[in-house]
Amino acid sequence: MKLKLAKIKEDSKSESVTLSEVGDILEKEKQKIFYFDQDNSHKNLVSLVEHFEEKGFSVYLKEVKFGLDENDYMYEVHIL
């Protein structure tokens, strides 16, 4: 499963990560906060949360609004 990361700048290219890439990052850093684009389905993000909870991590998922428009949001996933 590929998940699209949130853009750092509006004109930058979108990057994506897989579950195994997230796992590799967590092996090195032990905890990480990821910001995912709103184009990801909520179902896929819940699958990500369940996957890492099964591996013994604490995972927190929330929607972060960054503007006044209803569509100005991204997902924040904090994995400990």
Note the pLDDT of residue 18. Answer: 96
Task: Give the global pTM.
Answer: 0.89
Cα–Cα dist 26/39, whole Å: 23
What SS3 state is found at 53? helix
Task: Tell me which amino acid residue 11 is.
Answer: D
Note the pLDDT of residue 19. Answer: 94
Return the beta strands (E) in the chain as ranges.
2-4, 16-18, 32-36, 59-65, 73-79
What tokens were used for 1? 């499963």
| pLDDT, one tens digit for every residue, the chain (80 residues) | 999 999 888 888 889 999 999 999 999 999 999 999 999 999 999 999 999 999 999 999 999 998 888 888 999 999 99
Note the pLDDT of residue 32. Answer: 96
Could you say which DSSP state residue 38 is in? T
